Amino acid sequence: MTSNLEGTEPPVIAEVRDLRVHFGSKRGRVHAVDGVGFQIRDGEMLGLVGETGCGKSVTGRAFLNLIPQPPAIIAGGEVLFRPRGGAACPACAGSGCHACGQTGGETLDLLKLPQDRMRQIRGARIAMIFQDPGKALNPTLTIGVQMAEVFLQHKSDELLQDAGISADDRNLAANALRRIAHQEDRWLDRRLKRFPPLRQAAGRIQQALDARVAAALAETQIANPLRVMRAYPHELSGGMRQRVMIAQALACDPDLIIADEPTTALDVTIQARILELIKTLQERHRTAVLYISHDLSLVRKVCDRVAVMYAGRVAEVGTVSDVFSNPRHPYTQGLLAAVPRAGARRGHLASIPGSVPELVNPTPGCRFADRCSQVMPACTQLDPVLGSVGEGHSVACFLEHPPHAGAAKIEKALTE
């Protein structure tokens, strides 16, 4: 990747390369994600936009190994991630090289990570915020208990430290408390807790835990954290539940947050506040965010860069100001023109004709070809690939990068 060489930009902490996720169906193989690639830089907010079904959520879930297989088939590609403060890059032993994007840190392929490593990463280094916090929160546990689990799972050493507990007590106390938090404490744990030394220890851990949970909630501007901790999810409003999700996602200070339509279910007034909150916290913690949305105006407002997806591929990627003020892909142009705006005469919005193609056993060619007003013969024969049209601005369209016979042959050879 050439962009790695630019020393001034923050390092690339995550990269999706040629990701292909297919789904088996009665009618054939659905190429839901079919060669997606983009980079996420440290501390940036990257928007991922596109219409329903274009593969945004599947791409986002790939970061956390949350793609159910079956029905999904990971048909190829890599999802690379470089945790901050991870092990040293084996190629350069930490001095910075091409393989590690000059970070000196190790590069993990999240798709190949064993389950237990993934569990360590999930929540601690990469966290996810979903559209519907009601579904992501456990209805049978109080908010306090659910939040505590995150800390118990990833920060138990620090908790014991906060509570001033010696190394000998560690396992016994921590294990007992973990079971208590999961509401599966055994008869023995309850007996153990009555032993004065352990009772005190457990009490101190609980205090340390409560303090951390309260602080995490307070950071999302929840007015009364202690009351919210005692509440069950159904007792909170949608906006409040989304704040809890954000607090949970930020709890362990992750390097990357995947936010999948985090405000779609909320009213505009609440949406504005949640977005402002995500933006503020993201800047404060310097967390990178992959912000998945179908709302173009929101993405333009909160993101640094944006990748536009169409039918399982990235059509265009660049800074929000480049993509929104100078869209180069016909699909991006059509999408922006379709947004109702002041002055457009009623019944005369520019609309993209037709509908999203079915992705069952697709043939080569631009996925947008049957809706594109500028379609050319080559468009139905060859796959356009992302190519630069300006600094940090790339487009996958033959209007920008005409195919020439040689390239076409090579490409065909490569894909076979």
Partner 1 sequence: MMQPPKTDSTVAMKAGDTLLSVRNLNKHFPIKDGILQKVVGQVRAVDGVSFDIRRGETVGLVGESGCGKTTLSQCVAGLTDPTSGEILFNTGQGSQLGDGDRIDKLPKDRYRTFRRNVQMVFQDNFASLNPRQLVVDIIGRPLKVYREASGSDLTERVVALLEQVGLGRQHLYRYPHQFSGGQRQRISIARALALDPELIILDEPTSALDVSVQAQILNLLGDLQKERQLAYLFVTHDLGVVRHMADRMITMYLGKVVEQGPTETVFQQPAHPYTEALLAAKPDLADDPDKPFALLEGTIPDPARPPLGCRFHTRCPRVTPSCGWEIDDIVRFLEADESLFQSLQGVERRSARDADLIFKDPASAVALQEAMKSSSVPEAMRAATERLTVEGSRLRATFSEVDEVQLTERGPEHFAACKLDHLSR
**Pair 190, 177: CB distance under 8 Å:** no
Using CB under 5 A, which of the segments 2-10, 81-89, 347-355, 386-394 binds Zn ion?
Answer: 81-89
- Residue (66 or 378) nearer to ligand SF4, CB: 378
Cα distances from 157 to residues 116, 119, 170, 171, 174, in angstroms, run 18, 17, 8, 10, 9
- Which 212-251 residues touch Zn ion, going by CB under 5 A? none
**Structure tokens, 9:** 């930009």
User: Minimum Å distance from CB 57 to Mg ion?
Assistant: 3
| Alpha-carbon torsion angle 204, 206, 207, 212, nearest 10 | 130
Cis amide bond preceding 384, omega within 30: no
57 binds Mg ion (CB under 5 A): yes
Q: How far, in Å, CA of 308 to CA of 318, rounded?
A: 9
- Which 162-191 residues touch ligand SF4, going by CB under 6 A? none
**Structure tokens, 108:** 């993990």
Using CB under 5 A, which of the segments 53-61, 141-149, 189-197, 341-349 binds Mg ion?
Answer: 53-61
Q: Which partner, ligand ADP, Zn ion, Mg ion, none, binds residue 30 by CB below 5 to 8 Å per kind?
A: ligand ADP
172 exposure class (CB count in 10 Å sphere: 0-12, 13-18, 19+): middle
Using CB under 6 A, which of 50, 330, 334, 352 touches ligand SF4? Answer: 330
The amino acid at residue 23 is F
Interface contacts to ligand ADP, rule CB under 6 A: 23, 30, 32, 50, 52-58, 71
Q: How far, in Å, CA of 298 to CA of 48, rounded?
A: 11
Residue 348: phi and psi, rounded to 5, are -125, 35
- Which 100-139 residues touch Zn ion, going by CB under 5 A? 100
- Residue (14 or 366) nearer to ligand SF4, CB: 366
User: Minimum Å distance from CB 170 to ligand ADP?
Assistant: 41
- Residue (23 or 151) nearer to ligand ADP, CB: 23
Location of structure tokens 């907010």: 45
Cα distances from 102 to residues 4, 45, 84, 93, 94, in angstroms, run 7, 20, 13, 11, 9
Using CB under 5 A, which of 74, 75, 92, 408 touches Zn ion? Answer: 92
User: Minimum Å distance from CB 275 to partner 1?
Assistant: 7
Using CB under 8 A, which of the segments 69-77, 185-193, 236-244, 247-255 binds partner 1?
Answer: 236-244
**Structure tokens, 333:** 């142009």
User: Minimum Å distance from CB 346 to ligand ADP?
Assistant: 24
Q: How far, in Å, CA of 63 to CA of 83, rounded?
A: 13
What b/e readout covers 355-382, taking b as 16+ CB neighbours within 10 angstroms? ebeebeebeebbbbbebbeebeebbebb
372 binds ligand SF4 (CB under 6 A): yes
Residues that bind Mg ion in the complex, under the rule CB under 5 A: 57
Summarize as ranges the residues that interact with ligand SF4 (CB under 6 A): 330, 366, 368-369, 372, 374-376, 379, 384, 397-399
Residues that bind partner 1 in the complex, under the rule CB under 8 A:
51-52, 223-224, 226-227, 237, 239-240, 267-273, 275-276, 294, 296-298, 300-301, 320-321, 324, 334-336, 338-342, 344, 346-352, 355-356
